[in-house]
């Protein structure tokens, strides 16, 4: 048998893919060949989802049709809302999302159809429904009625509206749209790999996305920005940041929002979120969070040569939009569902079951002793 891969499959290329390219040395991220910086400057989340699924930018007419399909698919089945109401209020938003996405399959007219067209229809529905699901749970757990989606608002602005019941400021809506663009795909990260492993058994999109959400839930993947804001809350004041982070580094604490399996430089997504989080703080008249993060980033980079990742500044932006920290990872999923869907489509288009081997290191001739003789 071939040699054992490095722990965590580090640097192992498991498949070819045309969806996303990461250059970890140069800090470049491309979706379907388009630089993330250009997409942030010129595109929208809706267009990026189209690009990821169909492999090319849409014409105006194609985008129009695609956006309308997403808007039409936003509502949740009333029975799903009733199901959410039966969950204990302390259920975490990620548990609710995992359960809700799985349950949505029961209502989906294409649930058992694995064709590309049906999977695309399901991708539209899931991408449209996940923000409604996340926002509905936020309202329900606070004892409020869910807010119906507003068809006049784009994907990002509508989500913020459904969370609070109020229209977001243009800066908040723009920031959220950029955050959705930045999180939409990231090659073979853990959740996408989980989605592809599930899809490769020829299972369906809802199952693949449910697997992905389970993988995303872990703190080494999607949960880091929530932890970052825990650190910011502990530091409290920018003047305390330097001493706090030096002590943490001396104690060999792992600092959330830094380091990456692939990037050896700053994550190209971090600078956009830094800029937008700073602008949102300025608009709110309180820039303490980003000041703290900037000091932390300077010292971690100087001392450890470990650079900010996407999670360092996103929480600071979300907090300014009134989003509670335990909703940060579900927000990641709202965006990444576009990437997961693209990967399921690609996996199904040229499928082979993903079934690696293990190097067995256990005993090979254990003698069975009946239970009453042990
Ligand atoms: C993302 C992450 C899991 C990648 O980990 P990985 O590729 O498995 O790298 P390792 O955990 O093996 O770390 C390699 C080295 O860098 C150090 N390191 C990596 N990230 C670090 C961090 N955030 N803080 C402090 N040290 C870190 C490790 O201690 C290790 O040092 P060592 O070789 O002296 O022991 C890791 O960087 C991390 O835990 N970051 C914090 C969580 C986070 O922000 N996650 C979001 C990712 S987008």
Domain residue limits, the chain: 224-320
Whole-number Å distance, alpha carbon 220 to ligand 1 midpoint, is 9
Is 257 near ligand 1, meaning CB less than 6 Å away?
A: yes
Indicate if the pLDDT at residue 265 is higher than 90: yes
Here the tokens at position 21 are 């390219």
- Residue 256 CA to residue 218 CA, distance in Å, equals 13
Look-up of token digits 């989080």: 277
The pLDDT mean for the chain works out to: 96
pLDDT digits (tens, 9 = 90+) for 150-165: 999 999 999 999 999 9
**What phi and psi values does residue 191 have, to the nearest 5 degrees?**
-70, -40
pLDDT digits (tens, 9 = 90+) for 213-223: 999 998 888 88
Q: Which residues pair with 20 in a beta bridge?
A: 31
Is 155 among the residues known to form the active site?
Answer: no
Whole-number Å distance, alpha carbon 253 to ligand 1 midpoint, is 10
Is 259 near ligand 1, meaning CB less than 6 Å away?
A: yes
Mean pLDDT in residue range 269-289: 96
Mean pLDDT in residue range 18-28: 97
Among 260, 272, 343, 348, the one annotated catalytic: 260
Here the tokens at position 345 are 């489509």
Here the tokens at position 131 are 């923000």
Span between the terminal Cα atoms of the chain, in Å = 36
Asked if residue 300 lies in contact with residue 342, where contact means CB atoms within 8 angstroms, the answer is no
Is 221 among the residues known to form the active site?
Answer: yes
Alpha carbon distances (Å) from 143 to 79, 84, 124, 307, 328: 18, 12, 29, 40, 20
Using pLDDT thresholds of 50, 70 and 90, give the confidence band for residue 353. very high
Using pLDDT thresholds of 50, 70 and 90, give the confidence band for residue 236. very high
pLDDT digits (tens, 9 = 90+) for 83-132: 999 999 999 999 999 999 999 999 999 999 999 999 999 999 999 999 99
Record the pTM: 0.95
Q: Which residues pair with 21 in a beta bridge?
A: 30
pLDDT digits (tens, 9 = 90+) for 159-195: 999 999 999 999 999 999 999 999 999 999 999 999 9
Predicted confidence at residue 1, as pLDDT, reads: 62
Predicted confidence at residue 222, as pLDDT, reads: 83
* Closest to 121 measured CA to CA, from 353, 346, 341, 293: 341
Asked if residue 311 lies in contact with residue 224, where contact means CB atoms within 8 angstroms, the answer is yes
Using pLDDT thresholds of 50, 70 and 90, give the confidence band for residue 29. very high
Indicate if the pLDDT at residue 2 is higher than 80: no
Asked if residue 336 lies in contact with residue 184, where contact means CB atoms within 8 angstroms, the answer is yes
Write down the CATH number for the domain with range 224-320. Answer: 1.10.230.10
Q: DSSP character for 358?
A: -
Is 238 near ligand 1, meaning CB less than 6 Å away?
A: no
């Amino acid at each position: 048998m071939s040699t054992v891969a490095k722990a965590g499959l580090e640097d192992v290329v498991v498949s070819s893919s045309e969806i996303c390219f990461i250059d970890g040395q140069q800090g470049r991220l491309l979706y379907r060949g388009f630089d993330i910086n250009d997409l942030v400057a010129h595109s929208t989340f809706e267009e990026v989802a189209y690009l990821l699924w169909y492999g090319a930018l849409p014409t105006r007419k194609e985008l129009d049709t695609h956006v309308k399909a997403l808007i039409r698919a936003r509502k949740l089945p009333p029975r799903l809302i009733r199901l959410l109401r039966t969950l204990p209020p302390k259920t975490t938003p990620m548990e609710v999302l995992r359960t809700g996405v799985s349950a949505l399959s029961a209502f989906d007219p294409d649930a058992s159809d694995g064709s590309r067209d049906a999977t695309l229809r399901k991708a539209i529905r899931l991408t449209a429904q996940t923000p409604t699901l996340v926002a509905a749970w936020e309202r329900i757990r606070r004892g409020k009625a869910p807010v119906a989606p507003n068809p006049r608002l784009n994907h990002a602005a509508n989500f913020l509206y459904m969370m609070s019941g109020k229209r977001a400021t243009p800066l908040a809506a723009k920031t959220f749209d950029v955050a959705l663009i930045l999180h939409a795909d990231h090659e073979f990260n853990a959740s996408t790999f989980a989605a592809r492993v599930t899809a490769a058994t020829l299972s369906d999109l809802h199952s693949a996305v449910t697997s992905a959400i389970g993988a995303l839930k872990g703190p080494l993947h999607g949960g880091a920005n929530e932890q970052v804001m825990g650190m910011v809350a502990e530091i409290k004041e920018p003047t305390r940041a330097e001493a706090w982070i030096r002590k943490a580094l001396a104690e060999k604490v792992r600092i959330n929002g830094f380091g990456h399996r692939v990037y050896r430089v700053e994550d190209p997504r971090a600078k956009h979120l830094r800029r937008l989080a700073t602008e949102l703080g300025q608009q709110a008249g309180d820039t303490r969070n980003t000041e703290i993060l900037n000091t932390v980033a300077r010292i971690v980079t100087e001392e450890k040569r470990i650079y900010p990742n996407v999670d360092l500044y996103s929480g600071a932006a979300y907090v300014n939009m009134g989003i509670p920290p335990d909703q940060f990872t579900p927000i990641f999923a709202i965006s990444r569902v576009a990437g997961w869907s693209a990967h399921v489509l690609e996996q199904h288009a040229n499928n082979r079951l993903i079934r690696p081997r293990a190097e067995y290191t256990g005993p090979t001739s254990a003698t069975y002793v009946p239970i009453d003789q042990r």
